Amino acid sequence: MSKSKKRAAAGDTVGEGVFQHRALGEPLPSFRYHPDPLATGALVAEEIDCVVCDLRRPYRYAQTMYAFDEVEPLCPWCIADGSAAERHDGCFTDSAAPGLRAKPEGFAEVVYRTPGYAGWQQEDWLAHCGECCAYLGPVGWKEIEPLQKQLADDLARIAAETRTEVDPIYRHFHRDGNPTGYLFRCLRCDGYRLHWDGT
């Protein structure tokens, strides 16, 4: 079956040579572990023909899918239902990331059905209370400072890892610069966790 026939069967209409699909009016799928992918930049508003479902979609995945093939443009619906990861034998977050090694609850959903995020060198996905945390986005010291008490353990760990106890590196984090903090929230206790990355 040709692309045009497949699209027509799926509900497309053709107007002036441009395919218009009912999916353009569909709400974004929800992601338990990445609640606002538009705000974090993982998704962008852009009409595409998704390479997985072959439908016209109003949003594009703006990060990298880990797969042998180049999988783009890709829509969030094919991330959410697992079809992109299954068809291309890929994932959106490294399953060997330190925060996921214990395979906490939500492991498969984060790795195969949740938009990832881009770090400078190596992303991680943190967990707490036995479950993967929700990713809230990149942060700098301005955003971290009000959460110091809740992030005390992670801040102490980061300072120790980088040997910056005197002038902690996290005070130099920039939301849009290098190095950067990445904020997570526990879905069970509502506590915050922090990962960082830089060059």
* pLDDT, tens digit (0-9, with 9 covering 90-100), for 12-65: 333 333 333 345 567 899 999 999 999 999 999 999 999 999 999 999 999 989
Domain boundaries, the chain: 3-88, 98-197
- C-alpha distances out from residue 15 to 18, 20, 161, Å: 5, 7, 58
HSE value, Cβ hemisphere, 13 Å, CA-based, for 33: 25
Query: Among 131, 33, 161, 99, which Cα is nearest to 169's?
Result: 161
- List 66's β-bridge partners, or say none: 91
Q: Are 128 and 188 in contact (CB under 8 A)?
A: yes
pLDDT in tens, 57-107: 999 999 989 999 889 999 999 999 999 999 999 999 999 999 999 999 999
pLDDT top residue among 6 and 137? 137
**For the whole prediction, is pTM greater than 0.75?**
yes
